[in-house]
Homo-oligomer: A and B are copies of this chain.
Amino acid sequence: MGELRERIKARTEENKDKLLDYLKLESVSAQKREIDETAAYVKNLLEAFGAEVEILSLADKPLAHPVVYGFIPAKEVNKPTLLIYNHYDVQPEDPVEEWQTRPFEPVEKDGAIFCRGVSDNKANLIARLNAIQLYLEDHDGLPINIKFLIEGEEEIGSVHIDDYLAQYQDKFAANACIWESGSKDGQGRLHMSAGMKGIAYFDLANQTADIDVHSSQAAIVDNAAWRLIQALASMKDAKNRVTIDGFYDLMEEPNQEARAYLDQVPFDPDALKEGLNLRTDFITDDLDYSEKEALYFYPTLTISGLDAGYQGDGAKTILPKSARAKLDVRLVPGYTPENVQKLLRDHLDSHGYADFDLDLIAAVKPFRTDLTDPFIDLMVQTGETIYGKGKVIITPNSPGTGPMQSFGHYLGVPIVGIGSEYRGSGAHAPNEHIRWEDFYDNIAHILGIIENFDQVNWAN
């Protein structure tokens, strides 16, 4: 292991310029900065590591950011295929004033490397390429086929991933997929997600008058803000249970494998509370399931924004003509954006709010890999070799949302995420960084996967 570690470090040094040049590209998808340049860079990068590469586009959607497809075939025929998913786009660097270095100038210090996008998720692609090169140092070819899908819209909701997967379904066919990321916790345990919650995000709005009404009329005139409050209040009880008829009936009961894996997921409420700077207790006091179950297995219905009437300083005496809320619903298996939209619509209609507009403005289906799939064992076993026994954690699904379901749907693959991040990496935040030791661990993990992937009894 010591010798391998030295080889990983040497390989990292040798390829470091490739990482640095990749990091310097300001590929902020929300602002369409250097998108084509970065896609071209990734093409060259994959080619430099021996892949056949194509930059894919969508004929009827010219504004879609390109997807980079790469393929390195196995030395022998009839070998299984591993699909590697990453994204070359990054979050905006705001707030710049909170960075201690320039956001797009990579800086190494204290055993870490700082740059926007290094943890989310540029370094992970370089780690995967380094692992392939390490394997090829000792062998004259790969034991498996490796494909790459590197997209440029992950940070804006992977808005065209379904189009790409539908159009290029055959090209991306694989036996399993390594997701973009995975993170170490405070105890050095690697958390690997085998699924993600989905989301249905709504604009909810109502209008009670053409113009704001003077609030002296409040005794008799209705008010869009009050109606919004009453409509929202009707959707949740004091125990924070959703009170929409049938809401919980949609939920697929987590199977025993999911429950068994969740049992092993560490959960420290106090650390989480502190990490989130909360001023309030968790809202799960009155639930008949645990906080951890709530977080991973249950759907949520929450409000991300309220907007009505006057919001400035002082007093403006109006009955707001209109009021809007942003509704964020997280989905677990059993839910789709569409069936949730129907439940909400029915609830509004039957509670006196038929006039409310309910627009679905973001929709991602939930996904949970079949946890009996042998790929799960492969990921755990190869991980334990690197991180230690009991130090790799499979979460049946992350509480967060991502486009895993699209891959599951179009490619039928099991999916697990691994990566070089840790809890303090600051994805989406100033001073984003990864620690080199985590990067080395990650490379070793991927190397183990490449070495053992062909041993798996692939059903699919």
Contacts and interface: CB of A to CB of B under 8 A. Distances in A.
Contacts of A420: none
A317 interface: yes
Contacts of A260: none
Nearest to A401: B216
A330 B220 CA distance: 13
A242 to B, nearest CB: 11
A300 interface: yes
Given A226-B236, A279-B207, A219 B330 contact: yes
A308 B305 contact: yes
Contacts of A323: 306
Contact of A319 (B226, B279, B304, B325): B304
A280 interface: yes
A330 B279 contact: no
A131 B226 CA distance: 47
Contacts of A294: 219-220
Contacts of A278: 208-209, 213, 221-222
A305 to B, nearest CB: 4
A319 B225 CA distance: 20
A318 interface: yes
A316 B355 CA distance: 25
Interface string A66-85: 00000000000000000000
Interface in A184-231: 197, 199, 201, 207-211, 213-223, 225-230
B282 A304 contact: no
Nearest to A351: B238
Contacts of A217: 276, 295, 399
Given A278-B208, A283-B220, A362 B230 contact: no
Contacts of A220: 269, 272, 282-284, 291, 294-295
A203 to B, nearest CB: 9
Interface in A300-325: 300-311, 314-320, 323-325
A14 to B, nearest CB: 37
Given A219-B294, A277-B209, A399-B216, A304 B318 contact: yes
A105 interface: no
Contacts of A211: 277
A201 B279 contact: no
* Contact residues on A (Cβ < 8 Å of other chain), bracket: 35 or more
**Chain A at the B interface: mostly helix, strand, loop or mixed?**
mixed
B300 A219 contact: yes
A233 interface: yes
A326 interface: yes
Interface in A309-350: 309-311, 314-320, 323-326, 328, 330
Nearest to A215: B328
Nearest to A277: B210
A400 interface: yes
Given A216-B401, A282-B220, A316 B330 contact: no
Contacts of A216: 197, 330, 398-401
Contacts of A315: 157, 199, 201, 304, 326, 328, 361-362
A70 to B, nearest CB: 30
Interface in A382-406: 398-401
Contacts of A304: 215, 225, 309-310, 315-320
Given A218-B301, A220-B294, A232-B233, 16 more contacts: A217-B399, A218-B302, A219-B284, A219-B330, A220-B291, A221-B276, A222-B283, A226-B303, A230-B238, A303-B309, A305-B311, A306-B307, A306-B320, A306-B323, A315-B328, A316-B326
Instruction: Please list the 7 inter-chain residue pairs (A to B) with the smallest Cβ-Cβ separation, ordered nearest first.
Output: A233-B233, A210-B277, A305-B309, A218-B300, A218-B302, A305-B310, A219-B294
28 contacts: A208-B280, A209-B276, A216-B399, A216-B400, A218-B301, A218-B330, A219-B284, A219-B294, A219-B295, A220-B295, A225-B325, A227-B280, A228-B306, A229-B229, A229-B232, A229-B233, A229-B303, A230-B236, A232-B233, A279-B355, A302-B319, A303-B309, A304-B320, A305-B309, A305-B320, A311-B324, A317-B328, A317-B401
